[in-house]
Structure 1
């Protein structure tokens, strides 16, 4: 019995020794240790433009690639920047008092670039814009930002109290002017041939620019070809085709249902819009709230668990007396901003928000607004300013785009000899982006066309 017990002890000790040796070898072996992989697959690292409000310019990236020693976004000491900004501000003020306005402007801009959130820089720059350039609206925005940074800044507070009423009156005057242009457009009979042509062309323009803002590389001619012939364009991805077809389906849905409906806009309506926007690209995600966290530049949208309650609050605001009593352009712009700020979908948030905005505008007699893709960075900049607390610049930007769209319709349906502002904005090929209105029967297709299944 003792002998069996002795052998059992030896066996157990041998097992323990063997296991210990294996653990030691495994720990020190460089070939058997498996590290966790925290990097996503390369395919999923190709983040779409729809996710980001800001991106590093391609020229900057090229320069960085050519110079390995350059560090993109290299940060300086914030105290050094602030001190340099204040020194630059002092010189700018001296030049302003000497009457050297142009030189002072460059120094004010440099000081603002060094310390964009410093209340003294913002306030003094605002005073310069107000008194030297008579730009009360931009000055008021600077005072607003100064008070956001320091609510007790006495000079900025006094300046804001003076300019706020003036700016509000100027904004209202601008909106009244747009109402007059809308009414002029509404007076044109539906049977007008020129109106029918410009409606068709504006439809193509809207889709071309809306998908182009998100990074779609189709030209206007190719976009029009896809919509008119349903033929595929050689050299372009399936997703780019499907983005165009999705926006086409969403616009047709809105025009057939929501525009002429007088009842409230519901969550289901927004989901139906998104379902069509993304239906050709990603049918699974189309019409569904996201189930994961996303990141939008410097803005982190709410988590997926909060989306339903936030969307319910958003729809309550959307149908509230307060919102419905606003001017339609202000109402539409705020609806766009609020929805894209919540960012309820994995993809297609920008397109859906712009469609919701245009639904509201069309319900008030405005044409669907075209936001030119050439102004995408300005568009994103104003969204970021809205994130920081001031939505008025974004509303003014939408008002600008509304006016240019109205001018397009009025120009195309009249015998005006002058060009409207938007018409002088060239596309990537250097041609006028609305030349096609005048030559509506020309063959605009390009590339090798094959049927889209």
Structure 2
């Protein structure tokens, strides 16, 4: 199933396709807005879980558990790396290696103060979304991971445009634009967006 960040449907009453419903746990969900609501409730619970623990976000096991907690009440595959190709992200066989490299790089950046704390957290979030490790929810997962790393580094969580990026057309388009700039090695627009 595509990430709603990149495959946005302006009609929340659009029925989910059979492919989209594959792996779905709640049987009552048939429409996009029902899926968004169920995911948001699950993400809220994951946020409370993460806020109640002092964990090192720079751990691949924690990251998988975070995704599982964000989507585990909605999707059977939550927390499991994707095994199929996507139009964005690395090839599936590279996910574990690239995710570990992202964690290792961020640990190095923290240890050696390579960048200011905000930039470390934003670069880490960008790396995760660029890898696109899971079948769905990668944008929301990477932003929460960035927020948690910012907190771990003594900074407040980011605002990411101050609206839900699943439903916000103009802000969502801006987010995609700044992600693409970061893909082209210009991190500044994403840094500014993260605190906007």
TM-score, L = length of structure 2: 0.76
Q: 2:121 aligns with which of 332, 354, 360?
A: 332
Kept in 2: contact 1:245–1:280 (CA 8 A): no
Partners in 1 of 2:128 and 2:143 — Cα distance?
A: 9
Q: Which residue of 1 aligns with 2:23?
A: none
**In structure 2, C-alpha distance between the alignment counterparts of 1:255 and 1:343, rounded to whole Å:** 24
Q: Report the alpha carbon displacement of residue 327 of structure 1 after superposing the two structures with TM.
A: 1.4
The yes-or-no answer on 1:380 pairing with 2:173 is no
Cα deviation 1:218-256 (Å, max 9, x = unaligned): xxxxxxxxxxxxxxxxx9844223111211121012111
- Secondary structure of the corresponding residue to residue 250 of structure 1: helix
| Alpha-carbon spacing, 1:273–1:344, altered in 2? closer, same or farther (3 Å) | same
Quick one: distance in 2 between partners of 1:285 and 1:383? Answer: 26
**Residue of structure 2 in register with 1:293 after alignment:** 85
- CA root-mean-square deviation: 2.7
Matches of 1:315 and 1:238, distance apart in 2: 34
Matched, 1:266 2:59: yes
Shift of 1:367: 3.1
Q: Which residue number corresponds to residue 28 of structure 2?
A: none
Structure 1 position 364, deviation (Å): 3.2
Moved more, 247-256 or 361-370: 361-370
User: Which of residues 42, 55, 58 is equivalent to 1:246?
Assistant: 42
| Count of aligned residue pairs for this structure pair | 171
Task: Please identify the structure whose Cα radius of gyration is greater.
Answer: 1
Structure 1 residues 236 and 390: alpha-carbon distance in aligned structure 2, compared to 1, 3 A threshold: closer
What corresponds to 2:150 in structure 1? 361
Residue 48 and residue 397 in structure 1: after superposition, are their counterparts in 2 closer, same or farther (change >3 A)? Answer: closer
Contact residue 118 and residue 155 of structure 2 kept, 8 A? no
1:50 has 2:12 as partner? no
Between the aligned partners of 2:181 and 2:34, the Cα distance in structure 1 is: 35
SS of the aligned residue for 1:379 comes to helix
CA deviations 1:141-171 (Å, max 9, x no partner) are xxxxxxxxxxxxxxxxxxxxxxxxxxxxxxx
Structure 2 unpaired stretches of 5+: 14-30
Q: Does 1:314 align with 2:102?
A: yes
Gapped runs of 5+ residues in structure 1? 1-43, 59-214, 218-234, 402-453
Determine the structure 1 residue equivalent to 2:90.
302
Choose from 133, 138, 141 the match for 1:344. Answer: 133
More helix by share: 1
Q: Alignment partner of 1:270: what SS?
A: helix
Which structure exhibits the higher relative contact order, with contacts defined as CA atoms closer than 8 Å and separated by 6 or more residues?
2
